[in-house]
Amino acid sequence: MRESSADEQLELQRKAKGKRPYYFSNPDVDKLLSMIMALTGELAIARDRIDTLERVAAAKELFSSEDIENFELDAKALEARASRHRQLLREVNRIIIGELEDLEEADEEDYSAIVEQVEYDDR
């Protein structure tokens, strides 16, 4: 069985099917909570990875905290970070983006229905 690359995993469909359950009387609070939970999950993963890296580096005496602070990224690394930042923003904002997509689809369906009604009206 072939393992997916990180890029392939990022491209997976992230929009859930069906109606979103609401827990608060104001649906905007639910949206905000979903965004905060997505960020919290991302932060927890990032902190775990940083902790692991620091522990491995310390155990192998690879580099110091000062080395990390003074390190300068090249253009390729900066672009990779920018790409990850964009992906994170898409993930955090996916609930809003999903609603906008639903509205656009509904508008297209309404427009198509109106055109069909006008074209086939038997007046």
Q: What's the confidence (pLDDT) of residue 5?
A: 61
Q: What is the pTM of this model?
A: 0.48
> Nearest Cα to 117, choosing from 104, 109, 103?
109
pLDDT digits (tens, 9 = 90+) for 50-105: 999 999 998 999 988 888 889 999 999 999 999 999 998 888 788 788 778 777 77
Report which of residues 101 and 121 the model is more confident about.
Answer: 101
Q: Which three-class secondary structure string do you get for the chain?
A: CCCCCHHHHHCCCCCCCCCCCCCCCCHHHHHHHHHHHHHHHHHHHHHHHHHHHHHHHHHHCCCCHHHHHHCCCCHHHHHHHHHHHHHHHHHHCHHHHHHHHHHHHHHHHHHHHHHHHHHCCCC
